[in-house]
Amino acid sequence: MLKKILLGLLVLLLVAQFIRPEKNTAQLASEHDIRVHYNVPGNVLSILKRACYDCHSNNSSYPWYTNIQPIGWWIQHHIDEGKEHFNFSEFGAYSIKKAAHKMEEVAEEVEEGEMPLTNYTWMHADAKLADSEKELIVSWAKDLQHQLETKK
């Protein structure tokens, strides 16, 4: 009986390898990309690309282990959830009020060490933010939030 259960699980695992989520890889930058609508200094952009864009943009990079299911499904779920909360590639489509609130959340999450997620930085050590990088992102986000709030 145990052999049948293990064989059944093995078959399910093998079949799962053929059911893959659609990858989040845009070929071109979106017309709503934050860089199209607002100033993102180069030093801030490089940090955002390294630590945020995999889950918060329309272009994620996928390490080899995302080809193994169910790991790939789990990671794609994280990406979809991250984009639902905040998407740099669609930021220009947000209302001014929503955009200002999102920048407030960016500053808060980074300042409190909530972003990037710890489980992300385990596998992507380069995404860990130094205190100086956190300060840079927080300052930029707060400045952009203030600019947006004056447009209301």
Which has the higher per-residue pLDDT, 136 or 25? 136
Residue 150 pLDDT more than 80?
yes
Instruction: Give the DSSP letter of residue 38.
Output: S
**Confidence category of residue 93, pLDDT binned at 50, 70, 90:** very high
Poorest-confidence range of 13-17, 58-62, 84-88, 110-114?
13-17
Residue 151 pLDDT more than 90?
no
pLDDT of the residue at 152: 61
- Residues whose CB falls within 8 Å of the CB of residue 22, separated by 6 or more in sequence, listed in order: 76
pLDDT of the residue at 72: 85
DSSP 92-145: GGS-HHHHHHHHHHHHHHHHTT-SS-HHHHHH-GGGPPPHHHHHHHHHHHHHHH
Nearest Cα neighbor of 123 from 67, 66, 77 is 66
pLDDT of the residue at 44: 97
pLDDT of the residue at 23: 76
pLDDT of the residue at 91: 95
Residue 62 pLDDT more than 70?
yes
Average pLDDT, the chain: 89
In this structure, are residues 54 and 79 in contact, taking their beta carbons and an 8 Å threshold?
yes
- Amino acid, res. 117: L
Nearest Cα neighbor of 54 from 75, 31, 85 is 75
Residue 137 pLDDT more than 90?
yes
pLDDT of the residue at 139: 97
